[in-house]
Amino acid sequence: MEIKHRIVSTNGIKMHIAEAGTGPSVLMCHGFPESWYSWRHQLIALADAGFHAVAPDMRGYGQTDSPEDMEQFTLLHLVGDIVGLLDALEAPQAAIVGHDWGAPVAWHAALMRPDRFRGVVGLSVPHRPRQAGTERPTSLMPQTPDAMFYQLYFQQPGVAEAEFERDHRRTVRNLLYGGSGAARETAQPVGGDVDFYATGMVPRGGGLLGTRPDPSALPSWLTEADVDFYAGEFKRVGFRGGLNWYRNIDRNWEFLAPWVGAKVTVPALYMAGDRDLVLSFRGIAQLLPALKQFVPNLQDTIILPGCGHWTQQERPNEVNTAVIKFLRSLG
């Protein structure tokens, strides 16, 4: 079985996809700072299990178009891209899997178009419903006189780009290692009291990468060749597209008002690592026990011991086994 690549048209942009196998379609949406390559362990495994596995470079990443207008990176655009991808594949329906930022895309695709998405798997990020009476998300993000939540640091165009693009390879190596289960086990701040990988906070007047040194060795799941691939993609296209997803967080909140009270009704699976920084975000500890209220057909919640943020890359065998079992249960 081999992974094939092609460019398709969807929602007014050109999208690069990697695909393998034949059978019922499964779309896999990556997060930040990643690419289709994040699903390299799943593409062949799902194809061998009898599925048509498809992993796109999402809008703003890799070989997929990155519109100039920052406002063209909302969840409505991103869900539209994936619905259009189904049309390009001539697939009436598909299951959808998402990790990191790809998880909200997957959850909302299932929320908005249950006629097209027959099942959803969220990795790392659970479904966070838009609720009535809430405030703009950025107004609730933690900040102190000395530090701000990293998603606030990403808001000003050009700031994070300037830091990340000084050395694309160091950036990718640092972020992928730093969010891993191995790094979280031994996390120590470089200086002061701010450690991004323990708190999600970025010191004011500093940068995100300075909170951890460049690792001397990589964990077993990540090779220098993997780092080279990611770094090469970001050196070619930059980080602006991926960061623009964060710059639409409040706009997403506005646009999702029509879905207040709506539930994800299709069968669902949620998986995360117990060392994933996302699990320590404000509100997540309270959300997980109540997740079934918003996703009533949630089949299972799986927490992987010792696993960090990069779920499908750190624990490919466990993720493949659970996802294939879930997909087969859809019939």
Q: Which two tokens stand for residue 71?
A: 């406002």
d(CA 239, CA 251): 20
d(CA 203, CA 62): 29
- In order, the DSSP letters of 146-180 are SEEEHHHHTTSTTHHHHHHTT-HHHHHHHHHHHTS
**DSSP letter assigned to residue 18:** E
| 248: CB partners within 8 A, 6+ apart | 70, 71, 73, 74, 75
309 catalytic? Reply is yes
65 catalytic? Reply is no
- The reply to whether omega before 145 is within 30° of 0 (cis) is no
- Catalytic, out of 100, 195, 226, 276: 100
d(CA 14, CA 57): 10
- In order, the DSSP letters of 197-237 are HHH-EEETTS-SGGGSPPPSS--TT--HHHHHHHHHHHHHH
Please answer whether residues 7 and 282 qualify as being in contact, where contact means their C-beta atoms are separated by less than 8 angstroms.
no
- The CA–CA distances, whole Å, from 207 to 11, 196, 278 equal 35, 10, 20
Please answer whether residues 103 and 123 qualify as being in contact, where contact means their C-beta atoms are separated by less than 8 angstroms.
yes
- Active-site residues: which are they? 100, 309
